[in-house]
Amino acid sequence: MAFCLKLSPLALALAASASLPAFAQTVPQNLQPVTVTGKTAPMLDIELADVSGFGVPLAKSPQSVTVLSADLLTASAAQTLSQVIKLDASLADSYNTTGYIESVSIRGFLLDQGGNFSRNGLITSNDAPIALENKERIEVLKGVAGLQSGVSAPGGLVNYVTKAPMKDNFVTAELSANDSGGAKLQLDVNQKLGAVGVRLNLVDEALRTQYDQADGSRQLLSLALATELSPATSVSANLEYHRKRQPSVPGLGLLDSNVDGVGDTLPRSINPRLNLNNQTWSQPFEASSTTAEVALNHSIDASWRTRVAFNTQRLDIDDRLAFPDGCSSAANYVYPGLCANGDVDIYDYRSEGERRKLWSWDARLDGKFKALGLQHATRLGLNGRSASADLAPMQAYNWVGITNIYTPVALPADATLTSLNTNSRERALAGYATLTSDWRQNVQSFVGLRITRVKRSSERSDGSRAESFEQTVNTPWAGLAWSPSAATMLYASWGQGVELEVVPNRPDRFVNSGQVLPALKSEQTEIGLKWQANPRLLLTAAAFSVDKPYADDVPAADPANLPTQVAGAKTARHRGLELAASGRVDAALSLQASLMALNAKYTQAVDSTLVGQRVTNLPRLKASLFADYKLAALPGLSLNGLATFENGKTVMADGSVELPTAWQLDAGLSYLQRIAGKETLWRFNVENLTNRTYWREAPTTYWGGVYLFAAAPRTLRASVTADF
């Protein structure tokens, strides 16, 4: 094993700047701090989450909320969103692979990349890789989020909270590497310039993986500013640029062992380093995202305050891939799946010059008042968003030949632009209100309503198949909480969510490809228990039931014609139980533990044989346990481990194929020491400690393809973080 550092000139420049004397000494010392938090928060010590929408502590919120803080992400060596997902049993992958956009499902529902993600409370797009280095925490609301985000999938809401200027000046540099030769240099600089607080995060990374021909690079520039205009008014701004360039690693598929044209058997042997996107002409997936945000906060008096915030985002994407899809070398064409001998068709796919833009704004008033002898807290707000996707006029999707998963074959390229793209526009304007009422000292009610006017349109890049859709939707939410003691709370809640679906842009598979379908409502009921076992340890339990309508394919009268996708033709019901513990057991031991038991089945479908079947790629049982222990005998030394377990994931809609039980162990240690009066933190982490080879997930794509993704082989990471 060798750790080989390969850094760009930018990284070397960052390293040089870290060694320069901090200029904090020139800042006047009588300024009011921009924030009052310290540089390092205690492990897993989080009390509030903005994502809930009610502004109450997590222990008193009648919702299931998880907060994954920066210290947890650092301790577990999470580098990607897919690795973050392992820290909570209610979260799951969905077509997550090296070198591509990552997706999240919550309670078994795949989140919408444009409606279920926010950044500092403002809607953001997840259609590009996410940088974690400038995130203070990731807040996850589980369940319908119609009240918080309007038109969105029912699984929940993910809110990325970025790092903000802090009270103390510091310059921190981190150098990390892995055993494949990858290396990263990161700078985190916090200073005050006059009355303005400044937080700068810079990252340059050489991406090296265990996969064949999947090396790439990544850069991040993030700048946060904050100042007080007066004792009652503050303003903040946030700028972020993130670029990632790396070849994607596509999934495999089931083998058609009985030669009936449909894959039905898991490949027995797995090469976890295989990358079918390894042709000599393969090009990397490349994405750059630029985000700008500004927010104004004003306290009217001790009871009322306002916030106005705005953000804008631009994504530039070149999506390129040697894509495996189906198999034509057998007597019967296989789809979905591979031929029995491992053959698979390869397509030269190129959609270059994709440009996606988003802007959103939010204006709200928060206050407390008394009425009818009760104490109330309310939030009244308006927000809006506009999103557009402008793609190149044509894309390439051309069959170039057949390769094999056991003995890959070199194939010719065909970059001929043959398929039209679809451009889209979406606008939404919403008004919302929440009311929290204290009926007794230990009884609270929570109600809220969001009214959203959404308009969406799309057309092919040649102007054909123009579609438009406009609808007003209401998404109410209500909850009741009872606290039999100061440390416990029982709650029940009910809410609705609403989601837009778009027919996949596959004119070879759907009559109405690219069409926007009418928005339909999901509905959730939940009951839960929360116990603040000690001031820094929260235990929770929640039972939930969610009903969600889906679009489904309605066959044409003539079997030779393509099907039409119709909104609401299929319904799924997800029922489950979640248990979680998060926080510090004592001064030495911190935990992030969770378990979810899920029963997700179709209750309605065009194909009657689907009714009663489990929804694919969802575990019956999933558990996650992260523990960090500080050794008293060796001050500064901490040991940690992450264990994950899941079973019951079906691959095919009829339930005939199921992934074997999967488990994995990760481990790490850290040592904090002082050198020349400054803190230096050494870390060493091992992912997949036992080097297990197993199938991690088996998503079915929205166009009907079924893919298999193997777990990453054992990976070693080391890092050193030093203060200057």
Q: What's 171's domain CATH number?
A: 2.40.170.20
pLDDT of residue 351: 95
3-state SS, residue 366: strand
Burial class (CB in 10 A: 0-12, 13-18, 19+), 704: middle
Record the tokens describing residue 44, joined without a space: 């897993």
Q: Tell me which residue of 168, 183, 64 sits closest to 495, measured CA to CA.
A: 64
Sign of CA dihedral 559, 562, 566, 572: positive
Nearest 10 degrees: CA dihedral of 194, 195, 199, 200? -40
What value does the mean pLDDT take over residues 305-328? 97
- The more confidently predicted of residues 38 and 247 is 247
Cα angle, residue 374 at apex, residues 372 and 378 outer, rounded to 5°:
100
Q: Is residue 110 one of the residues assigned to a domain?
A: yes
Record the tokens describing residue 472, joined without a space: 């007003």
Q: Is pLDDT of 25 > 50? A: no
Phi (first) and psi of residue 145, to 5 degrees: -125, 30
- Number of domains the chain is built from: 1
pLDDT of residue 15: 44
Taking the CA of residue 376 as centre, how many other CA atoms within 13 Å lie in the half-sphere pointing to its CB?
15
Phi (first) and psi of residue 243, to 5 degrees: -130, 135
3-state SS, residue 58: helix
3-state SS, residue 85: helix
Tell how strand 304-324 and strand 285-299 pair up.
Answer: antiparallel
Q: Is pLDDT of 30 > 70? A: no
Residues 655-691 pLDDT 10s: 999 999 999 999 999 999 998 888 999 999 999 999 9
Q: Is pLDDT of 22 > 60? A: no
Q: Is residue 199 one of the residues assigned to a domain?
A: yes
Q: Is residue 442 one of the residues assigned to a domain?
A: yes
pLDDT of residue 23: 35
pLDDT of residue 8: 54
What value does the mean pLDDT take over residues 495-510? 82
Contact yes or no for 31/226 (Cβ under 8 A): no
pLDDT of residue 19: 40
- Mean pLDDT across the chain, nearest whole number? 91
Phi (first) and psi of residue 700, to 5 degrees: -100, 120
What value does the mean pLDDT take over residues 33-54? 61
pLDDT of residue 45: 66
Burial class (CB in 10 A: 0-12, 13-18, 19+), 511: middle
Q: Is residue 178 one of the residues assigned to a domain?
A: yes
Taking the CA of residue 14 as centre, how many other CA atoms within 13 Å lie in the half-sphere pointing to its CB?
25
C-alpha span between 70 and 40 (Å, rounded): 10
Taking the CA of residue 513 as centre, how many other CA atoms within 13 Å lie in the half-sphere pointing to its CB?
18
Contact yes or no for 705/337 (Cβ under 8 A): no
Contact yes or no for 151/428 (Cβ under 8 A): yes
Please give the C-alpha separations between residue 66 and each of 127, 161, 197, 482, 664, in angstroms, as whole numbers: 23, 13, 29, 21, 22
What value does the mean pLDDT take over residues 221-245? 97
pLDDT level of residue 469 (50, 70, 90 thresholds): confident
Q: What is the pTM of this model?
A: 0.92
Which residues lie across from 294 on neighbouring strands?
237, 310
C-alpha span between 166 and 174 (Å, rounded): 19
The helix (H) or strand (E) run that includes residue 526 is strand 516-534
3-state SS, residue 148: helix
Contact yes or no for 644/86 (Cβ under 8 A): yes
Residues 83-124 pLDDT 10s: 999 999 999 999 999 999 999 999 999 999 999 999 999 999
Tell how strand 343-371 and strand 374-390 pair up.
Answer: antiparallel
pLDDT of residue 24: 38
The helix (H) or strand (E) run that includes residue 11 is helix 9-18
Q: Which amino acid is at 477?
A: W
pLDDT of residue 551: 87
Please give the C-alpha separations between residue 500 and each of 85, 106, 113, 125, 290, in angstroms, as whole numbers: 25, 18, 12, 15, 26
C-alpha span between 510 and 553 (Å, rounded): 8
Q: Is pLDDT of 278 > 50? A: yes
**Domain, as residue range, for 484:** 9-157+164-723
What value does the mean pLDDT take over residues 241-267? 96
Q: Which of these ranges, 61-75, 503-517, 629-643, has the smallest mean pLDDT? A: 503-517
pLDDT of residue 426: 93
